[in-house]
Every structure is written in C-alpha cells, then in structure tokens.
Amino acid sequence: MIYLGVSMTRLISVKVFPEASDDAVIQEKKRYKVYVREVARQGAANKGVLRVLARHFVLPQGSLRIVRGHTSQNKIVEIPDNTVLE
C-alpha cells in the first residue's frame, strides 16, 4: 500500500453521558450525544463510547479512535472516511 498523504479518516465531535440507563447515540447538528452504561473511571466510559459508536456506524470497534478528550465529557473521535454519518 502506498501512502499519498491523503487522510482516510474523519473526525466527529462527541459528548459523552456515562452511567446512562441504556446505550444510545443521538445526532445533533454537528455533534453526537453518546450515552453509555459504563462509569467514567479508568477508561471504562471511553471503551463504552467506542463500542456504542462502532455498533451505531456498523464498524469494527478497532477502526475508531479517541484523538482528543480522553478525560473529558467532550471528545473528538476518528472514524473511517467512508462511514455514512446518520
């Protein structure tokens, strides 16, 4: 594979709501609200965010990555560029 310097990913803005009663993703204008059941301790909620977003976008969990906001409720998540955003 030859790398041409073209990004194959896009960034989405996410606001996380840990300790929710159920997992959910709600799209609002330019941000996604992600509700996860996990608590916000020791990265559990971050893993939950990636799990819930992967299920929402029908992607392998390993194709998603938190690039900013590891300890914040507001995060930037990297997803594959060919993902259909709904």
Provide the whole-model pTM.
0.86
Q: Give the per-residue pLDDT at 9.
A: 87
Q: Give me the sign of the Cα torsion angle 73, 69, 63, 8.
A: positive
Q: What is the mean pLDDT of the chain?
A: 90
User: How does residue 8 score in pLDDT terms, banded at 50, 70 and 90?
Assistant: confident
Tens of pLDDT, residues 41-66: 999 999 999 999 999 999 999 999 99
Domains (range + CATH), the chain = 9-80 (3.30.1200.10)
